[in-house]
Structure formats: structure tokens, C-alpha cells
């Protein structure tokens, strides 16, 4: 990290400007910060991204920074909270350049402005290994924090946005698909590099959702967490899972791809359950937030997640979703 004036020079140049609008950050000149609290408490989440695992080493630094914030913003949104700030831990390769750092800081600045959040502190280190970045995000809950627990038999299973785009975007960067238009390819790559956290919709989620979480490791695997913690069975119809036009084009050419998209990661949508009587309120909030919400199944007594095909029979899915510690 030569030429940066050391760790404190790096912080002063690239990161202190990002903390100016947060009085509790104390200009990043102290060992800690003062967070604004609410009567309901503060919702906290932490996610890390690692080169070669969550982003490609040659991805643009601006998109790496934005993805870092957005995967955490997605978690906060899925808890029915509004994010207000974060702390950042950054492990930069020793040969990182001023140009790369400046671009990374620009990405953070752009999304701070877009989502109304502030940097409150963190840590910077040098590493001989891959670049690794971790954010702890803070948010104020709405009516109450939406938990994985709470789904009840009779509730509906819903999801925001479209599923499978992030996984397809990563595949596109590794080996381009045939039959996609340039616009479709750009769309899928952008969905992988720059997720779209459903922050506006998430702020209203606690008014109607009985349970919910962020979809990051694959829709089926993440819904399994709701089923396990709530002690219920979720029955999902594969044909009802919403796909983007780009994903639908690929599924049309390869129908077996639809089932694989249900276990792909990097969606960063919100999966949630809602009592039937609250569906109208849910749809109204989604319309106001310009967020697509689709009912994809129901909650029943039992356990686990069942995925039904077009014929109404359970599908046998290969791969339950992404797991950092599964043997490969």
C-alpha cells in the first residue's frame, strides 16, 4: 500500500470524507462512534465479500464497493428496517493502487447518497491474500423487526423482484450464454455486480409480513430457514417463481434451467410470508415502492420446503443452495 501515507493517511484521504455527514462518526478520529438509537432498538447485520467468492478479482472497484453495501442493505430491508449507517472493515492487497482506492471510495459515496446512509468507522488492513471487505450495517426497525420465525399454516409465501439473475450474471461473466441480446447480457451482469436491495418496500414489511429474510444463498435454501425456525412446511410452485425476460429466454431454450435457478445465489431479494388477510396491504405497499411482489406458494403444517413442478409433483432439486463450508 505504498504511496498512501500509511493506514491513517489512507483513512483521511478516502474514508473520512464519507463520514462527514454523521456527527456520531467523530470524523473517524476516535476508536469508536456514537450511533443514533430508536425506541425499538437498532437492527444490526454483518456480511463480508471476498475476491474470488463474492466478486471477481477484475470486477470494477466501484461495483465491488456498491455490492458490499447492497448485500447488507438487503438484509436490513428484509428485517423491515431502514438503514442509517455502517462500519467498514477492509483488507486490501498490499499492491492496491491509489486509482483503485479512489474508485472504491467513489462507489461507497455514490450508494451512501442513493440510500441515505453514513459511514461510522471501521478498520483498514493490508493482506497477502485476496481482497476481503466486511460491513456491519445498522437500521431502525419499523413496527417490529421481521424475523425468520412467525410463519403460520395458511400464510402465503411471497418473493420480491425476480429470481436467478445474479447466478446467471456470474455464469455470463465466466462463459457467455448463446441466444442472449447484448442488453440482456448487460442486465444479468449488472444484477450480479450491483444487486438491487428492496429498501423502499422493506421499510413497510413489518406491517404485514409474518416472517421474512434476504435471499442470498438460493431461494429454496433460504426458505428452508423460515420453515425450520417457524416449524412449518413451505410449498412452492416452481412455475410461479418470477423470472426476468433474460432468464426466461434462457429457460425457454433449456427448460431444466428453471429448477437450477431456484438454488442459485446472489439474488438479494426478499422472501417472506404474509397472512392472506394482509395480502392487499402488501400489494399496496409494493405498488407504492415500485417493487414487484409475487405469491409463489403457501405455508402448511409440517416441515421443510417442497417445490412442485407444473404437474403438481415434487421436484428433486440438485444442490440446495450456496454453502461456504460444504465440501467441494
Rank 10-14, 130-134, 143-147, 315-319 by mean pLDDT and report only the highest: 130-134
Whether 47 and 117 map to the same domain: the answer is: yes
Q: Is residue 324 part of a domain?
A: no
> E strand or H helix at 211, and its extent?
strand 211-215
Q: Is residue 148 part of a domain?
A: no
> What is the CATH number for 110?
3.30.1330.10
| Average pLDDT value over all residues in the chain | 90
Whether 176 and 263 map to the same domain: the answer is: yes
Using CB atoms within 10 A of its CB, is residue 277 exposed (0-12), middle (13-18) or buried (19+)?
A: exposed
Q: Is residue 321 part of a domain?
A: no
Whether 206 and 63 map to the same domain: the answer is: no
Whether 121 and 170 map to the same domain: the answer is: no
Which residues, at least 6 apart from 325, have a Cβ–Cβ distance to it below 8 Å? Answer: none
Q: Is residue 33 part of a domain?
A: yes
Nearest to 15 by CA among 84, 87, 76: 87
Q: Is residue 149 part of a domain?
A: no
The band of 327, judged by pLDDT with boundaries at 50, 70 and 90, is very low
Q: Is residue 322 part of a domain?
A: no
Distance CA 282, CA 206 (A): 10
Q: Is residue 327 part of a domain?
A: no
Taking only the tens place, the pLDDT of each residue in 217-268 is 999 999 999 999 999 999 999 999 999 999 999 999 999 999 999 999 899 9
The pLDDT value given to residue 76: 96
Whether 166 and 60 map to the same domain: the answer is: no
The band of 38, judged by pLDDT with boundaries at 50, 70 and 90, is confident
The band of 318, judged by pLDDT with boundaries at 50, 70 and 90, is low
Handedness of CA 234, 224, 43, 88 (dihedral sign): negative
The band of 325, judged by pLDDT with boundaries at 50, 70 and 90, is very low
pTM greater than 0.95 (yes/no): no
Structural domain boundaries, residue 246 = 156-308
Distance CA 300, CA 264 (A): 25
Q: Is residue 32 part of a domain?
A: yes
Distance CA 116, CA 135 (A): 16
Amino acid at each position: 500500500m505504498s504511496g498512501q501515507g500509511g493506514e491513517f493517511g489512507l483513512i483521511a484521504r478516502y474514508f473520512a470524507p464519507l463520514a462527514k455527514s454523521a456527527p456520531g462518526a467523530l470524523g473517524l478520529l476516535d476508536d469508536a462512534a456514537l450511533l443514533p438509537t430508536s425506541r425499538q432498538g437498532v437492527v444490526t447485520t454483518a456480511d463480508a465479500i471476498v475476491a474470488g467468492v463474492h466478486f471477481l478479482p477484475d470486477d470494477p472497484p466501484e461495483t465491488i464497493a456498491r455490492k458490499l453495501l447492497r448485500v447488507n442493505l438487503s438484509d436490513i430491508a428484509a428485517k423491515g428496517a431502514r438503514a442509517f449507517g455502517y462500519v467498514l472493515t477492509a483488507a486490501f492487497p498490499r499492491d492496491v493502487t491509489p486509482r483503485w482506492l479512489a474508485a472504491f471510495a467513489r462507489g461507497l459515496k455514490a450508494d451512501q447518497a442513493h440510500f441515505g446512509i453514513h459511514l461510522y468507522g471501521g478498520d483498514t488492513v493490508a493482506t497477502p491474500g485476496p481482497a476481503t471487505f466486511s460491513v456491519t450495517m445498522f437500521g431502525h426497525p419499523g413496527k417490529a423487526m421481521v424475523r425468520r420465525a412467525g410463519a403460520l399454516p395458511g400464510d402465503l409465501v411471497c418473493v420480491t423482484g425476480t429470481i436467478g439473475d445474479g447466478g446467471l450474471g456470474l455464469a455470463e461473466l465466466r462463459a457467455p450464454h448463446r441466444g442472449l441480446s447484448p442488453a440482456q447480457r448487460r442486465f444479468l451482469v449488472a444484477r450480479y455486480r450491483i444487486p438491487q436491495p428492496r429498501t423502499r418496500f422493506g421499510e413497510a414489511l413489518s406491517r404485514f409480513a409474518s416472517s421474512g429474510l434476504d435471499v442470498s444463498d438460493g431461494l429454496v435454501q433460504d426458505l428452508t430457514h423460515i420453515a425450520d425456525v417457524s416449524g412449518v412446511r413451505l410449498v412452492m410452485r416452481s412455475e410461479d417463481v418470477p423470472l426476468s425476460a433474460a432468464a426466461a429466454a434462457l429457460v425457454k431454450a433449456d427448460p431444466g434451467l428453471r429448477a437450477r435457478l431456484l438454488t442459485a445465489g446472489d439474488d438479494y431479494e426478499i422472501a417472506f410470508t404474509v397472512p392472506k388477510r394482509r395480502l392487499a396491504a402488501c400489494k399496496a405497499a409494493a405498488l407504492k415502492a415500485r417493487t414487484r411482489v409475487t405469491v409463489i406458494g403457501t405455508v402448511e403444517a409440517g416441515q421443510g420446503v417442497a417445490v412442485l413442478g407444473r404437474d403438481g409433483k415434487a421436484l428433486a432439486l440438485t444442490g440446495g443452495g450456496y454453502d461456504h463450508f460444504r465440501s467441494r
